[in-house]
Amino acid sequence: DTAVSQTPKYLVTQMGNDKSIKCEQNLGHDTMYWYKQDSKKFLKIMFSYNNKELIINETVPNRFSPKSPDKAHLNLHINSLELGDSAVYFCASSQDARGGYEQYFGPGTRLTVT
């Protein structure tokens, strides 16, 4: 009955590979997000989808491509992985994109690129 789930929890891969992280929420929320948390613990928004439509696309390399097959899922695909992509990636959801709605975060995916 996990509200926001992510798979895998850990991902170790080599530079140049392509990998995906999956996210699902069972809260019936309209809006989902991807965040990156670096080694200094700063959480930075990467993307946000509202009802399967992209509404936030921050300055991230276009090697990162989100895909939302339905409003309960927001997957993150990363091409040609680089060492600097190593971080913890969090998925989150909120009731909608307006202010005043809390975000529910997943457990995170720790990506290590070697």
Of 83, 81, 74, 92, the C-alpha closest to 36 is 92
Q: Which residue in the block uniquely carries the two structure tokens 């995170």? A: 108
Compute the distance between CA of residue 97 and CA of residue 95 in angstroms, rounded to an integer: 7
| Beta carbons within 8 Å of 2's beta carbon, 6+ residues apart | 26
SS3 69: strand
Contacts of other proteins in 39-78 (CB under 8 A): 40-45, 48, 50, 55-56, 58
- Pick the piece of the chain touching other proteins (CB under 8 A) from 14-22, 67-75, 78-86, 103-111: 103-111
- Min dist CB 91 to other proteins, Å, is 8
Answer for which of 51, 65, 103, 112 binds other proteins (CB under 8 A) is 103
Nearer to other proteins among residue 45 and residue 72 (C-beta): 45
Of 108, 109, 105, the C-alpha closest to 92 is 105
The Cβ of residue 69 has, within 10 Å, a number of other Cβ atoms equal to: 9
- Min dist CB 97 to other proteins, Å, is 4
**Per-residue binding letters, 5-44, with other proteins (x by CB under 8 A):** --------------------------x-x-x----xxxxx
Instruction: State the amino acid at position 24 in one-letter form.
Output: E
Residues at the site binding other proteins, with contacts judged by CB under 8 A? 4, 31, 33, 35, 40-45, 48, 50, 55-56, 58, 90, 92, 94, 96-108
